[in-house]
Each structure stands twice: as C-alpha cells, then as structure tokens.
Amino acid sequence: MGLRARWGRGRGTRANDPSFLPRERLGREARLARNLERVYDVGQDRIWNGGDVLQTLLDKHGPVDIPEPACSAVRELLGAMLWGELAAWKVSAELAPLLPSHEGRLAATSQAHDEARHFRVIHDYLELIGGPTDAPAPSAMQTLDKVLAADTLAKKLVGMQLLVEPVALTLFTILRRSEVCPVLTELLPYLEQDEARHVNVGTNLLPELVRDMGWAEAADYWAYQGRLFHLEVRGLAEMEPALRTLGFDPREVYRLGQGKQVGAARMVTDQLGGSAERITDWMRAGMEFTAVYRFPGPEERRDVLSRLRAGLAAARQTEAPAAHLLVR
C-alpha cells in the first residue's frame, strides 16, 4: 500500500479540501504550527549559496590538500553524507505536498531546498578531493533505503528527521572537529545549522501522528525505529577505521549521536506525556547498553560475557546525558 493511502486518509490532498487552507488553531496545535512556520522563516532568513560559500573559503584558504590516509577517511564519511543528503532531499520533497497542514508543507518545502543545497555543495567539495569512495558503509546505505521505502508518514519522519538527521549532525560535527581541512571546517557549520532546524520538522509533526495510533500501528512504528537504530549502529561500526584515522574513538562518536537522538526523541515524547515519556528512558538505556557492549574501550575486556555485564551496568546508570542537537 502506498504512503499516501496509509497515512493521508485523503486529508489535504485535494486542492478544494477545506483542511488545505490555514485556519484558526488553539493551544498545542497553534504552537506546533508556529514552530513549523518558524522552520520555514528561519530557513528563509539564513539562506546561503553553497557555490559562493565554497568559493569564498577556497579564496581564503587556497586549494584543498588533505594528506593520506585522512583524505580517504574524509571521502568515505562525506561520501556517505552525500547519499544521506540525496535521501533527505527525496524524502522532504515527497512529504511536502502530502502533509496535512499548511505549516508542515512550508517546513518540508524549506527542508527540500536546504537538502538540495547540501547535496550540491558536498558533491562540489568531494570533487576537489577525488570524489566519494566507491563503496560507502553498506549498513548506512541500507538505513537510507529503509527510510526511503517506509510505508507510513510516521516511519518516514522518525527515520529521516529523528534518526538520520542526528547522525548527519554527528558526522558533520566530528569532521569539523577533526580540523583536517580549513575549508571543510568553516563550511560544515552552515550545514549543521540547517540540519538542526530540520529535526524540528519531525519533532513537531510526530506527536500528533503517534497519538492517533492504535496498538498494532504503534508497535509496528516502535519496531521500525528499533530496526533502523540497529542498522545505524552497524553502519557506525563499518565506519570505525575511517573514524579512527581522523582521531576519533567510535564510542565517543556513538555517544555524540546518542545524545542528539535521545534529545530529539525527548522533544517528541515530552509532548505526548504519560507513559510515552518512559520510552526515552528505555531508549537511552538501550543505547547505553549498545555503546558499551558494541564499542568497548581500550582498557575494557572484550569477551562477550564481560561486555554484556558492562553493558547492563551502563544501561542502569545511564551515564550519558541527552545532548543539544547542535554541539559546538
């Protein structure tokens, strides 16, 4: 069954549908609408030209020259981001005309424009260093395919805005922190600001969708998140050599992404209230377990039993706090 039939129930999909028009809204609905409008307005105010920014940085710093093996690591990570940008561009452009509210359509349209700019500027930068590597992390590619193939709006939103966008933010942050190239270091904050804004599209649209779900649909939705999260962790493990080349420990990178994902999930469950708020506690505990079990530190024992024990202890302690979406 197609995406439109599964979630739209025909709402806002006809030009003469009254729900297509802006209308008075009260309380929560009005606040969510204003937040979504703000995504559009801020996007408009902070719009930037990727070609101009890249050229200005090249004029300032001179030609890009990254020594090996760092150059290959950047090509691998940024290559994965290139396909992530294309997926985000496709998803936001697909959602824009289908969203039931005027403000949601504004926000998704703004995001589609941002993602097109991101794709082009990353592509142009990659051309300067030999293009993306031939085979980006296979699990990262599977994650993107799974989001593109999602059969409900809620899955597509949670997949792109709450799981993939925080990972994109994380990789941009660590590439910037690596200071491997001054042009890249000064280019990435432009993308990070846009990506942090995009997370708001999901956090403002998802609570209403999740609230309307029956048990079966909700179980399917949370199971989908779990499968996507599992794939993302595998993707990170596949990127481990590139991360280490740039001087990052995979657990440190995982923790940064974990904080951003928990922060985004908390923004959704806070609005749902009640037992939904416990979901982020379980999510954080599950992520804590995964961090310690999957990415043992240099001084930690690596046998399965020791990792299991350490993972369970970490899950109980929930040592990592939820992070701001935009980490400097």
The distance of closest approach from Cβ of residue 110 to Fe ion in the complex, given in angstroms and rounded to an integer, is 10
Residue 33: which of 205, 165, 198 has the closest Cα? 205
Q: Which stretch binds Fe ion (CB under 5 A): 14-22, 101-109, 196-204, 306-314?
A: 196-204
Backbone angles phi, psi at 70, to 5 degrees: -60, -35
Which residue, chain included where needed, has tokens 């990353």? 122
Contact by Cβ (8 Å): 162, 260: no
Cβ proximity to Fe ion, 199 vs 291, nearer residue? 199
Residue 187: which of 61, 75, 86 has the closest Cα? 61
Q: Which stretch binds Fe ion (CB under 5 A): 3-11, 40-48, 108-116, 264-272?
A: 108-116
Q: Which stretch binds Fe ion (CB under 5 A): 22-30, 140-148, 187-195, 248-256?
A: 187-195
Q: Which stretch binds Fe ion (CB under 5 A): 188-196, 216-224, 226-234, 252-260?
A: 188-196
Query: Within positions 198 to 217, which residues make up the interface with Fe ion, using CB under 5 A?
Result: 198
Binding pattern for the stretch 3-22 against Fe ion, x by CB under 5 A and - elsewhere: --------------------
118 belongs to the binding site for Fe ion (CB under 5 A): yes
Q: Which stretch binds Fe ion (CB under 5 A): 116-124, 180-188, 284-292, 294-302?
A: 116-124
Binding residue for Fe ion (CB under 5 A) from 37, 76, 192, 195? 195
In angstroms, rounded to a whole number, what is the distance separating the alpha carbons of residues 167 and 169?
5
Who's near 207: CB < 8 A, 6+ residues apart?
32, 268, 271, 272
The distance of closest approach from Cβ of residue 67 to Fe ion in the complex, given in angstroms and rounded to an integer, is 28
Backbone angles phi, psi at 325, to 5 degrees: -70, -30
| Greatest distance between any 2 Cα atoms in the chain | 65
Amino acid residing at 155: K
Q: Which stretch binds Fe ion (CB under 5 A): 118-126, 141-149, 262-270, 311-319?
A: 118-126
Residue 154: which of 91, 97, 196 has the closest Cα? 91
Who's near 284: CB < 8 A, 6+ residues apart?
258, 262, 318, 320, 322
Q: How many CB atoms lie within 10 A of CB 261?
A: 29
* Total of chain residues touching Fe ion, rule CB under 5 A: 6
The distance of closest approach from Cβ of residue 42 to Fe ion in the complex, given in angstroms and rounded to an integer, is 14
Question: Among positive and negative, which fits the CA dihedral 155, 267, 249, 63?
Answer: positive
The distance of closest approach from Cβ of residue 195 to Fe ion in the complex, given in angstroms and rounded to an integer, is 5
The distance of closest approach from Cβ of residue 238 to Fe ion in the complex, given in angstroms and rounded to an integer, is 21
Q: DSSP string covering 211-237, please? A: HT--HHHHHHHHHHHHHHHHHHHHHHH
Binding residue for Fe ion (CB under 5 A) from 73, 81, 82, 88? 88
Binding residue for Fe ion (CB under 5 A) from 76, 103, 115, 232? 115
Contact by Cβ (8 Å): 213, 154: yes
192 belongs to the binding site for Fe ion (CB under 5 A): no
The distance of closest approach from Cβ of residue 92 to Fe ion in the complex, given in angstroms and rounded to an integer, is 7
The distance of closest approach from Cβ of residue 267 to Fe ion in the complex, given in angstroms and rounded to an integer, is 16
Cβ proximity to Fe ion, 115 vs 232, nearer residue? 115
User: Footprint of Fe ion on this chain (CB under 5 A)?
Assistant: 85, 88, 115, 118, 195, 198
